[in-house]
Amino acid sequence: MSITVTGKIERRNIGLGAWAFVTDDGVTYEIPKSADKNLLQSGQTAKVTGKVRDDIMTTAMIGPVLEVKSFEVISSD
C-alpha cells in the first residue's frame, strides 16, 4: 500500500544510528539508510510518498519501515 505523508526527518542515535520520519500526525517511520541522501538531512520537512514495509525488521525498531518512492523537500532548518 502506498502512502503520502508530510513530516520531519530526524537522526536517531540508536546503535549505529537510524533515520526517522515523524509525520505531522506524530507517527514515526524508519527510513532506510539507502534512501536518497538529499532526503536524509536531519531537521528538514518533507512530503514523502512510499510503501510501508511490514515484511522487514531493523535493529533500531523505531517504527515501521517506510520505503521512499519519491519526496519533496518543503523546508530545511
Assess whether pLDDT exceeds 80 at residue 1: no
Between residues 46 and 58, which one has the greater pLDDT?
A: 46
| Burial of 29 (C-beta count, 10 Å sphere; 0-12/13-18/19+) | buried
Residues 47/74, Cβ–Cβ less than 8 Å: yes
Q: What is the pLDDT of residues 2-37, one digit of tens each?
A: 999 999 999 999 888 999 999 999 999 999 999 999
Confidence at residue 16, expressed as pLDDT on a 0 to 100 scale: 86
Which domains, and CATH codes, for the chain?
A: 2-75 (2.40.50.140)
Assess whether pLDDT exceeds 90 at residue 70: yes
Confidence at residue 76, expressed as pLDDT on a 0 to 100 scale: 84
> How far apart are alpha carbons 17 and 70 in whole angstroms?
23
pTM for this model (two decimals): 0.92
